Amino acid sequence: HLPEFSRVSDANRSIVHVQLIDGKHLIEGTHECKLWIYPKLDDSAVVFRYKVKRVSYRDLTLGLSEKMAIKGTPHIESITHRGHNYLWQHQAISTLNKIGVNIHPRDVLSERDYLKYKRSYGVSYGV
């Protein structure tokens, strides 16, 4: 569901905000950006200001993290996604599962990548 979108003022980057189950949130960007996982976002978060049509990259990443920490809803993980060793995917999947967003690696990786991931980390899926 994409109710609105805004442009990131840094034209070389894109940011996606995904609201997950039970009010949990994931914010991810391109180009070795971090993947931020929040168990909750305060209502004042910039991602909820749909009338804002241009937002800075910092406002959506580190700035959001700083503001949410002040509001008492800090991120629980920020993972730089880079490389092909699947470490960042493993961290993200593990964190999401810990906060009740049950994701199996097979659900989010191609079959080829899933087999590589499984060789590197095994599959411990506790549902």
User: Three-state SS string across 10-24, please?
Assistant: CCCCCEEEEECHHHC
**Residue 87: other Cβ atoms inside 10 A:** 16
> Taking 80 as the threshold, does the pLDDT of residue 125 lie above it?
no
Confidence of residue 4 (pLDDT cuts 50, 70, 90): low
What span, in angstroms and rounded, lies between the C-alpha atoms of 46 and 119?
A: 39
pLDDT digits (tens, 9 = 90+) for 22-62: 999 999 987 678 899 999 999 999 998 888 878 888 899 99
- Note the pLDDT of residue 53: 79
Identify the burial level of 103 via C-beta atoms within 10 angstroms of its C-beta, where 0-12 means exposed, 13-18 middle and 19 or more buried. Answer: middle
What is this structure's pTM?
0.85
| Chain mean pLDDT for the chain | 86
Q: Which residue has the tokens 């899926």?
A: 125
- Note the pLDDT of residue 127: 38
